[in-house]
Amino acid sequence: MANHKSSIKRIRQEEKRRLYNRYYAKTMRNAVKKLRTTTDKAEAVALLPNVQKMLDKLAKRNIIHKNKAANLKSKLAAHISKLA
């Protein structure tokens, strides 16, 4: 167990941050999965801006890497363009 007040506070902060990051990373993965499994092009086009916004926000806050966000956005756009 930590002995300093600052390290005890740091442990509390890290736990909050870890839970926050886990929640939003999981939410992002579910949104990407939902978009990938969509077979209707109109529905997929409607979902894309929200998913892209989420990816950009997570990349900005360093929850995911900016290149990972860019790769996901690119692959999702390619997936949507292939839909009939």
- Which sign, positive or negative, has the C-alpha torsion 4, 23, 57, 73? positive
Residue 76's CB is within 10 A of a number of other CB atoms, namely 20
Residue that has been written with the tokens 């736990």 in this structure: 15
Q: What is the DSSP letter of 62?
A: T
pTM of the model: 0.84
Q: Which two tokens stand for residue 15?
A: 């736990």
Give pLDDT tens digits for 4-15.
999 999 999 999
Asked whether the predicted pLDDT for residue 54 surpasses 90, the reply is yes
Asked whether the predicted pLDDT for residue 1 surpasses 80, the reply is no
Asked whether the predicted pLDDT for residue 35 surpasses 90, the reply is yes
